[in-house]
Amino acid sequence: MRQEESLARVALASALVAVLVIILVAGLWPFNPLPANNVDWLRDKSGLRLGNNPIVVSRSPFQFTDTRWSSVSLEIWIRPARVGPSSTFLSIYTPGNPNQFRMMQYHNIFLVRRNIKDERGRWQDIAVGVDNVVYPNETIFVTLTSGPKGSSIYVNGKLAGYFPDSFLSGRDLSGQLIFGTSPVEKQTWQGEWRALAIYARDLRPDEALAHYHMWAESGQLELVKELPSTVLYDFHEGSGAIIRDAGGTGPDLLIPKHYSVPHKPLLQRPWEEYRPNLSYLGDLGVNIAGFVPLGFLLSAFLWGSARCRRPILTTIIIGAVISLSIETLQAFIPERSSGMTDIITNTGGTAIGCLLFVQPAVRRLPTRLGIAKAG
């Protein structure tokens, strides 16, 4: 009988270790805090190729806060490698407003999004965009202009959308520039970057068309002479980790050696993580269910220990500590996100496992095997 009890304890301990290993692997995979930054120079033309896990950042923030930048225009020349779920190819980050300005694609939709405060001081996410303009392996030249009369989006020199109620200034573009990923989460974009230009006024329709032809004919440097207060990156360097502004006023851009999500939050709050979709609910269910076996097996193991006076409470605390450790480490893994919601759901799953174990009908079997004490 004593041998059977010993074998049962070994089996329980082995199952507990296996569950713990599965939880750690699932929570920390892939455990690579420093993945390679997949950004390369194009060989046959000026530009960058952004592959899997790409990032390019400005060495210092853009400063477009004086009166010259009350109106603004921004031009980008890109070639997406694929279309699909949301991907961020350009963003402006500030500590007080991490999602201040973003250019994104969602399937075939080109989106411009901003975080602004309303009159009551509440953050609002404002989005404008145009549909059916982004296609894989097709070059697209986008001009965003904004002035007192609203904002316009031109695609390949032609007006694609006008938004009279949307207005932005140089202040919206003041901050750290980031290519290839969101500043706060892994939301990467793949494709080619050919050009970026920012002007201190809203371009007229004829200028948007003229600039499109100038870029296509490689006459982009003339734009620096034509318009004052111009920031222009034509990616002509062809090698190295530094990209310089041809206009001479903007900060250098840097191609880091490793990919990272540069401003990923540590233990993001639940209301910031909330997403009103089925995927979010599915994640909650998985996080709860994943810790139920841990709660069940660990409470059974501790219940049979004379040294543990409060096995259920101890089990719940251990489950919470394991989850906290995983979520803290996830902040340093670009592939993962760090949030408090998982800690709550994991701890809840641990508690459910404990409740299952303490049910008399369930606990009767491990008591007979000598795994847990009677009573």
Do 212 and 86 belong together in one domain? Answer: yes
pLDDT digits (tens, 9 = 90+) for 334-363: 999 999 999 999 999 999 999 999 888 766
Among 254, 278, 311, which residue terminates a domain?
A: 254
Confidence of residue 367 (pLDDT cuts 50, 70, 90): low
Nearest-angstrom CA–CA distance, 209 and 219: 14
Nearest-angstrom CA–CA distance, 282 and 135: 30
Do 95 and 240 belong together in one domain? Answer: yes
Among 196, 227, 254, which residue terminates a domain?
A: 254
pLDDT score at 307? 76
Confidence of residue 309 (pLDDT cuts 50, 70, 90): confident
If one counts the domains in the chain, the total is: 2
Q: Rounded mean pLDDT of 323-329?
A: 97
Q: Rounded mean pLDDT of 203-215?
A: 91
Do 78 and 176 belong together in one domain? Answer: yes
Nearest-angstrom CA–CA distance, 64 and 169: 8
Confidence of residue 4 (pLDDT cuts 50, 70, 90): low
Name the pTM for this structure. 0.87
Residue 67 has pLDDT above 80, yes or no: yes
93 Cβ partners below 8 Å, 6+ apart?
Answer: 100, 175, 176, 178, 183, 184, 262, 263
pLDDT digits (tens, 9 = 90+) for 38-63: 999 999 889 999 999 999 999 999 99
pLDDT digits (tens, 9 = 90+) for 271-305: 989 888 888 999 999 999 999 999 999 998 998 77
pLDDT score at 248? 81
Is residue 259 one of the residues assigned to a domain? no
Do 49 and 16 belong together in one domain? Answer: no
Is residue 248 one of the residues assigned to a domain? yes
Do 11 and 83 belong together in one domain? Answer: no
Is residue 281 one of the residues assigned to a domain? yes
pLDDT digits (tens, 9 = 90+) for 6-33: 777 888 899 999 999 999 999 999 899 9
Is residue 8 one of the residues assigned to a domain? yes
Domain of 238 in residue numbering reads as 39-254
Do 323 and 356 belong together in one domain? Answer: yes
Is residue 243 one of the residues assigned to a domain? yes
Do 64 and 124 belong together in one domain? Answer: yes
Residue 2 has pLDDT above 70, yes or no: no
pLDDT digits (tens, 9 = 90+) for 92-151: 999 999 999 999 999 999 999 999 887 777 888 899 999 999 999 999 999 999 988 899
Do 250 and 275 belong together in one domain? Answer: no
Distance of CA 163 to the CA centre of its chain: 27
pLDDT digits (tens, 9 = 90+) for 215-240: 887 656 566 656 666 899 999 999 99
Nearest-angstrom CA–CA distance, 311 and 72: 63
